[in-house]
Each structure stands twice: as C-alpha cells, then as structure tokens.
C-alpha cells in the first residue's frame, strides 16, 4: 500500500511539451504536476486494465504521509473507487523532470497494489508484497522509458 522512499530515476529526455526545458514557478509546477499525473494515470489504468475504476490523484504534504513513504492508496472495492496520494510538488526536492518521473513511479506502484487488491491480505505478507510491487513497477517503467 505504501511506496517507500527510493532514488529517483533521472534517465529520461524531456519529450513532453509540458516539461520541455524550463522550470516553472511553484504554483505552475504543482498544477503541471497534477495535469501530468492525471494523464499518466489514465494511460496506466488502460495498460493495467483498471479503467472500470474511478481513481483520483491527490497531492499531499510530506507530513500527511507515513514516514519514509512517497505515496499511498486507499480503495473501496465495492464502489471501484480509489485515491492515490502522491507527495506534493512543493515538497519534492528533485529537479522538475525527475519529480514527474518519480510521481509516475508512485502512480504505477499504487496501481499494482490495486491489481493485487483481490488477493488475500495479511499483515505478515505486507513486506513481501511491497518487494514484489517495487519490482513490477520498476520493470514496467523501465520498459516504458526504454530509449528506441
Ligand atoms: Zn507499496
């Protein structure tokens, strides 16, 4: 359920017009991050066949997340609705492009948790699940970001 702190991936070129070159001011940065996150969420929902879920992204402050985490998710299975929390743009210490990449990683990570939501869950299996989810999310993004 929780994405642990990790080193950001910074291997990308900025092809997206939203992020080409300049670093926007704080408020623009937050808004652009929200727009980008929503677009990437829609793409990954399609890829992971989760389009029957209503999922929203909420940027939250550092203090609202558990220690050593970068995001989280809560879901309501009967209603098929979920909220993904990502660290607020204003609390990211990364350069702009790296921040967007890291937010996308959080989104994919939390969607993988959602994919696993129908499995039996026990507190004892949490760290095993976390390890598996980290590996799957990293692999998906590595494929997506592979240079042609
Ligand atoms: Zn997790």
Residues 104-121 have pLDDT tens digits of: 999 999 999 999 988 877
CB-based contacts of 58-66 (< 8 A; 24+ apart in sequence): 58/83, 58/84, 58/85, 58/86, 59/30, 59/33, 59/34, 59/85, 59/86, 59/87, 59/88, 59/89, 60/85, 60/86, 60/87, 60/88, 61/88, 61/90, 61/91, 62/87, 62/88, 62/91, 66/2
Dump pLDDT digits (tens) for 91-100.
Answer: 999 999 999 9
pLDDT tens string 22-81: 456 778 888 999 999 999 999 999 999 999 999 999 999 999 998 888 999 999 999 999
Q: How confident is the model over 7-20, as pLDDT tens digits? A: 332 223 333 334 44
CA of 74 to the centre of ligand 1 (A): 11
What is the distance in A from the centroid of ligand 1 to the CA of 53? Answer: 19
Ligand 1 center from residue 110 Cα (angstroms): 6
Contact 97, 104 (CB under 8 A): no
- Identify the CA nearest to 91 among candidates 111, 73, 71: 71
Where does the pLDDT of residue 3 fall: very low under 50, low under 70, confident under 90, or very high at 90 and above?
Answer: low
Ligand 1 centroid from CA 7, angstroms: 15
């Amino acid at each position: 359920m929780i994405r642990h702190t990790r080193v950001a991936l910074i291997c990308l070129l900025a092809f997206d017009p939203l992020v080409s070159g300049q670093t926007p001011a704080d408020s623009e940065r937050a808004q652009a991050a929200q727009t980008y996150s929503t677009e990437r969420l829609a793409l990954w929902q399609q890829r992971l066949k989760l389009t029957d879920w209503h999922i929203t992204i909420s940027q939250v402050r550092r203090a609202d997340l558990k220690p050593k985490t970068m995001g989280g998710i809560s879901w309501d299975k009967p209603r098929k609705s979920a909220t993904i929390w990502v660290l607020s743009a204003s609390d990211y210490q990364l350069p702009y492009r790296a921040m967007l990449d890291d937010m996308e990683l959080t989104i994919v990570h939390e969607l993988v948790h959602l994919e696993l939501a129908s499995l039996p869950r026990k507190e004892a299996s949490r760290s095993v699940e976390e390890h598996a989810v980290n590996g799957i999310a990293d692999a998906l993004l590595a494929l997506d970001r592979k240079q042609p």
